[in-house]
């Protein structure tokens, strides 16, 4: 997290900005000791941006939805906050799109309240109170430090820890494929899915640490992309029974197939989707593919495309 601090006693306002993350898949869906283990990265957009300020009375700006207000009240009760404050939401990552909106929102609110009232509560404690990071540490890691992240999986019911982090290359780009007509599996349906699915017969743990991340470190997109496709196939096959196929959205699946046929080194779905992604070698390649996609898929008005950079820093927290 990037913090710009004022003297604690003088803090009257906290601004928190955090952005979306890609969850590129679990690499150990077997019944291993360190269950799950996942790969993900922080993006520079879309973002969640909010302002918390001390106030004469507690005020939720009209930009605050009931969902957000419930998160706030949960923290107020858990942290025993008695002081009044106001909350303004400037932007929010789209919900149930596979971009980590819920975790980033909860952490932003929790960290903002912690800073505003000098509560001295750790990020791990905030995540636990918010019931975030139970299966994957990517969202918490993205908020804290950004970059491309590998978490170690679940051990003894503790929050997954970041085992490895690398910067996303400055020249690479991520092309997001969004479907406004679809929502990813979430809530009770997500919990039921994990109860229904049996452990996988194999793990890609060795591939992750011995092939995929070393390829990223040396900037080898072709090798990194080949491993990504293996990781996506592993997850797609495992989750197909509960999401209706390897991808949650048929339209996104069609676009991803097009991208593969037109030179994208790798494609995939983020988390439960429906958002898909391609990792590309340059801004020029991303722009050219986006322009052609907008022509070829003009009839699918529910589909949109966004070019992103990797974000190699955590959330921004500014106090005044």
Give residue-wise pLDDT tens across range 220-233: 999 999 999 999 99
Question: Residue 291's pLDDT is what?
Answer: 99
Question: Residue 7's pLDDT is what?
Answer: 58
Domain ranges across the chain: 2-319
**Regions in the chain scoring below 50 on pLDDT:** none
2-319 placed in CATH 3.40.50.300: no
Question: Residue 61's pLDDT is what?
Answer: 84
What predicted TM-score, i.e. pTM, was given to this entire model? 0.93
Nearest Cα residue to 263 out of 239, 237, 292, 243: 292
Question: Residue 231's pLDDT is what?
Answer: 98
């Amino acid at each position: 997290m990037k913090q710009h601090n004022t003297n604690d006693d003088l803090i009257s306002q906290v601004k928190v900005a955090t952005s979306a993350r890609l969850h590129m898949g679990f690499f150990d869906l077997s019944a291993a000791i360190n269950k799950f283990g996942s790969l993900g990265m922080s993006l520079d957009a879309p973002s969640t941006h909010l302002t918390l300020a001390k106030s004469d009375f507690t005020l939720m700006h009209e930009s605050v939805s009931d969902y957000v207000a419930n998160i706030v009240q949960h923290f107020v009760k858990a942290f025993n906050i008695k002081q009044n404050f106001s909350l303004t939401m400037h932007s929010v990552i789209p919900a149930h799109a596979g971009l980590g909106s819920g975790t980033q929102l909860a952490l932003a609110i929790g960290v903002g309240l912690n800073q505003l009232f000098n509560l001295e509560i750790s990020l791990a404690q905030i995540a636990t109170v918010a019931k975030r990071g139970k299966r994957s540490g990517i969202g918490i890691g993205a908020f804290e430090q950004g970059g491309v992240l590998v978490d170690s999986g679940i051990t003894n019911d503790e929050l997954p820890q970041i085992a490895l982090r690398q910067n996303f290359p400055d020249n690479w780009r991520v092309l997001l494929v969004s479907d406004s007509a679809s929502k990813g599996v979430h809530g009770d349906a997500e919990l039921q899915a994990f109860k229904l699915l049996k452990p996988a017969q194999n793990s890609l743990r060795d591939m992750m640490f011995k092939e995929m991340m070393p390829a990223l470190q040396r900037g080898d997109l072709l090798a990194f992309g080949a491993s990504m496709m293996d990781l996506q196939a592993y997850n797609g096959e495992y989750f197909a029974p509960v999401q209706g196929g390897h991808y949650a959205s048929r339209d996104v699946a069609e676009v991803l197939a097009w991208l593969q046929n037109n030179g994208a080194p790798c494609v995939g779905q983020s988390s439960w989707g429906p958002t898909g992604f391609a990792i590309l070698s340059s801004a020029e390649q991303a722009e050219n593919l986006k322009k052609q996609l907008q022509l070829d898929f003009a009839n699918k008005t529910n589909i949109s495309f966004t070019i992103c950079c990797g974000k190699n820093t955590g959330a921004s927290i500014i106090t005044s």
